Structure 1
Amino acid sequence: MQFEPLAEDALLLRFGDRIEPMLNDRVHAAVAALRELPSLECVPAYASVLLRFEPAAWQGDDATSAHQRVEEAARIALETAHASAGTGRIHEIPVCYGGSQGPDLHALAQHLGLSDEAVVARHAGADYRVAMLGFAPGFPYLLGLDPALAMPRRPDPRTRVPAGSVAIGGMQTGIYPTELPGGWHLIGRTPLRLFDANASEPSLLAAGDRVRFRAIDAEEFADLDAAQRR
């Protein structure tokens, strides 16, 4: 566990430099332990937590810097708390796999030596955790992908990926919250709206939440999509 100064109002709490569930568990346990500290915002990533604070609120009368005070308080909170990573909220995400909604599904299945149906079954049969949000507002990086579905990113990224696209890139799966460029393989699409800047909680998913995908057909996709637009 290391603290690294990033700016006059920020520290990086680092647990490692790999993408793996054990390190991400420590990240979310740390966020749970530190969230009660005053004037401190925690932003989790795969293996680190960004700690943003108000320097004036942490500046003392002696020569101790705000950075030092935040680090000391964080170390005490982490050493004395018995926080766990928890389970987070559970979300069921309906996905229409393949066809026009998942144009890369068949090619990905062929590359992996699996049938389209087997890819869908493995992808929808896993439990995922939102390891972090990044790349774009509301984009969830999900841990829990079946290793048999790991696939290098596309050599020719798309300039436009439709909102709601469910994709695989490397050992990760994720969902494009809005229309964006991207180089992951598109295997399906959800009609759910993942990000709304005007909502009280703009992002449907939060770091630490749990996700399970449910396969739906084109008719149900159209019905749910219409409901979302009302």
Structure 2
Amino acid sequence: MRIAPAGDRALLVDLDDVRTVAAHHAGWAVGHPGIAEMIPAAATVLVILTEDAEPARVSAWLRETPPAQVLGRSGETITIDVRYDGPDLDEVCATTGLDIVAVHIGQVWTAAFCGFSPGFAYLVGSDPLSIPRRADPRTSVPAGSVALAGEYTGVYPTSSPGGWQIIGSTDAALWDVNRDDPALLAPGTRVQFRAVT
């Protein structure tokens, strides 16, 4: 773990990989009075400090607080119904030699971090995959597309370009400005996918 100042009111914590980030982010969820917000990414966590925080004390607390043994927020699992009808499903199954639907629904996924577009969560599973991105990205991926790339799965909240392998679709609203929290998935949220027809 490497911790460096990021301006005068933040610390950037550099970790080894996304699973280490998720474990530490979950462990730090107990909170520290000097932390206003934590923003996880693939290999870092940006820790925004309160006005009266002492960066050295917060840094020491971050180093001393153990990572969580179980990823995700306690008791919060969201089920997302998926029609496994994606245009890349057969190719992904053939490439990996796996029953991708069984693998996808057979584990609980955790939102490691959010980005790319509002409401898009990068989900990691307990049984990591390694799915190559498409050689030719699509100029338009429909909202609700359930896709895989690298070790991640995600759901496109809006129509956008994308290079992930589309394995299915959902009607779940990942981003809704009329909700108190517009994003359905936040870092630490656990997700269980369920196959529907």
Would the TM-score normalized by the shorter structure come out above 0.5?
Answer: yes
Residues 1:93 and 2:80 aligned together? yes
Q: Work out which of the residue numbers 187, 190, 196 in structure 2 matches 1:207.
A: 187
| Counterpart-to-counterpart distance in 2, 1:17 and 1:162 | 33
* 1:113 paired residue number: 97
For residue 47 of structure 1, report the CA deviation from its aligned partner: 3.5
Is the 1:24–1:131 Cα contact (8 Å) retained in structure 2? yes
| Counterpart-to-counterpart distance in 1, 2:105 and 2:79 | 10
Larger radius of gyration: 1
For residue 198 of structure 1, report the CA deviation from its aligned partner: 3.4
For residue 122 of structure 1, report the CA deviation from its aligned partner: 1.6
* 2:26 paired residue number: 28
Judging changes above 3 Å, is the alpha-carbon distance between structure 1 residues 157 and 77 closer, same or farther for their aligned structure 2 residues?
closer
| Counterpart-to-counterpart distance in 1, 2:176 and 2:116 | 16
| Matched-pair identity in % | 41
Is the 1:160–1:179 Cα contact (8 Å) retained in structure 2? yes
Aligned residue identity for 1:129: T
Judging changes above 3 Å, is the alpha-carbon distance between structure 1 residues 83 and 4 closer, same or farther for their aligned structure 2 residues?
closer
Root-mean-square deviation (CA, aligned residues, Å) is 2.3
Judging changes above 3 Å, is the alpha-carbon distance between structure 1 residues 126 and 83 closer, same or farther for their aligned structure 2 residues?
closer
For residue 157 of structure 1, report the CA deviation from its aligned partner: 0.8
Judging changes above 3 Å, is the alpha-carbon distance between structure 1 residues 4 and 78 closer, same or farther for their aligned structure 2 residues?
closer
After superposition, give the CA deviation of every residue in 1:127-174 in whole Å (9 maximum; x if it has no partner).
Answer: 111111111121111111645x53210111111111111101012111
After superposition, give the CA deviation of every residue in 1:178-223 in whole Å (9 maximum; x if it has no partner).
Answer: 1111100000011000011232111111111111100000xxxxxx
Q: Which runs of 4+ in 1 moved over 6 A?
A: none
- Residues 159-174 of structure 1 aligned to structure 2 (within 5 Å): 159-174=139-154
Aligned residue identity for 1:124: I
Residues 1:18 and 2:2 aligned together? no
* 1:53 paired residue number: 49
After superposition, give the CA deviation of every residue in 1:33-63 in whole Å (9 maximum; x if it has no partner).
Answer: 4x34256211122332211235xx23xxxxx
TM-score by length of 2: 0.86
For residue 103 of structure 1, report the CA deviation from its aligned partner: 1.0
For residue 110 of structure 1, report the CA deviation from its aligned partner: 2.1
* 1:76 paired residue number: 61
* 1:136 paired residue number: 117
Judging changes above 3 Å, is the alpha-carbon distance between structure 1 residues 73 and 111 closer, same or farther for their aligned structure 2 residues?
closer
**Higher relative helix content:** 1
Any gaps of 5 or more consecutive residues in structure 2?
Answer: none
- Looking at both structures, which has the greater relative contact order when contacts are Cα pairs under 8 Å and sequence separation is at least 6? 2
TM-score by length of 1: 0.75
Give the length in aligned residue pairs.
194
